[in-house]
Structure 1
Amino acid sequence: MKKIVSVIAVSAFLLLTLAGCGGIPDMDAEQEEMVSEYAVSLLLKYDSENHSRLVNVDNFVTAYETAKRIHDQAEEAYYNKLAEEENKRREEAERQEELNNSYSQETPSQGGDYEYSEEGSGSGSGRGDGNGGATVVDTQTIEEFLGVGAFNFAYAGFDVLSDYPEDSMDFVPYISASEGGELCVVYFNVTNNSSEAATLDIIDIVPMTYFKLAINGGSFKSVVRTILEDDIAVYSGTFAAGETKRLVLIAEIREGTIVDNLELRINKGSDTLTKSLR
């Protein structure tokens, strides 16, 4: 700092000395202001206590790039997780489809020439039950048969769809019909009739319970077991007192099928319940 002051002092002395050799030139106000600003800028330039108002953008660029890199990594991890969950969902759906195919095989009646998948093609009145007899439409309720007396199951219609749920997003579980097929989604309003919360746990019912649907007098075929939260076939959840939830059973049908008649069959061990829904 002393060196700077010395330089300025010597410069001022030389200016005064040189000025003595001739007349000081006249300057207008603008020129005087320019000289003053220049002198001030020289002083500030060498003043260690003075800091420029100019921002060093390098630090901000570095911070931005770091934040962007962290954001990109987090975003990539998020979508990787979604993809992983989607793969697991598809693998589970394929596994369930294999199980459904095995469950849908009915035991053939002895001495019959027709295939076991075509119930109703044998002799006898009514639709065949796969054992040579006629289907009995029971008066017992679904909840009584399942042994869940606190609940009431009420048929609430059906839809024929390509996907269920229709408005599902990519990362939400859903089911799509196979090529050339459609989904027959059958709705049930399930109500907890008790005065306190109750749990409905279909997959824990012993012996294991299987649901089947027959469309337009065709054979009874197992419903598609899914990982959907509202799938009756695998449902497990708690109802508040008096609460009603809409649950579904899903069967795959041939594309373009008009559903006129709909029947439900529930197998629990050696016991069977058949209900005409539509």
Structure 2
Amino acid sequence: MSSVEKIPTFIGAGLGTIGALMLIITFTYFKEYRYLYRKLVFILSFYDFFQSALFLLPGHSNKYICRAQYFLLAIFGSTPSFWSAAIALISYLKIVKEFPDRKLNQIQKWLHLLMLITVIVLVSVFSYTHDYSTSDTYCRLKKLINLISKGYFLSKIIQPKQVWVQLRMSLIPLIEMVVMAPATIRRIRDMINPNGSQLVTLDIIHSLLVTSQGFWDFWIFVVFDPEIRKKIRNFSSYRSYQKNFHDLESFSPKSENDLLLFPNPFENEPKEESDEEKEYDKSEEEEKEKQNRIFL
């Protein structure tokens, strides 16, 4: 990696690490929102976190770091992409064919297990590669495939929603994919012809986008999501209510006794009778007088 790329890479990695960590914490606490594409994003956020954290390490361009990134991408990146395809298929079958939930869950688990085994085999084969350029290119190719799958399946899964929601969910992966494609092609060209021209600006944008993916995912799937935003607001209000209630409970009996020394000035004040009460008293007196006359 050139010295020009180091600063945007470090900035992007810092933002990506913080954003991915906040996204993981949010979806860990609010488990009820982890379904369909949100579950996919939750799994991908682990990859975003570890990838950004690896870029913060000194010597992150080392071939072993690249292999670690590929391993994380294979487990957390490629698997959810195929898994999201299974979710889209299962959702379609559930709506059209009315499959029972139990069978759908079994199909989903077997597809996930099959993809996981495939990824482990691929990782085992490519872990013996000692050519850094080949390993780096393979990392970029896998990332590109993952971005295509992520953007495509996210747009498919949320198809019933409004158009602007679809754009919001897949815009950042689309932008990154547009930048990643020529960057990957350039990397392959550099392997064939190392003395070719360098596209420095493209490398800077590519480094910033790749390393800060967790930051953008946090904004897209948490900050801009009205359901989760409302849930967080309600949670904040509830915490505030709990704090106020705790403050009231901490009110000591001694202070209550102290307050008893200062009686309410309106407590012993004579009440004025209302017109209805006066009328009732008057009628009661007349009734008594009438009974006395009868008795006499």
Normalized per residue, which structure has more strand?
1
Greater RCO, CA 8 A, separation 6+: 2
Query: TM-score, normalised on structure 1?
Result: 0.21
Query: TM-score, normalised on structure 2?
Result: 0.20
Larger radius of gyration: 1
Normalized per residue, which structure has more helix?
2
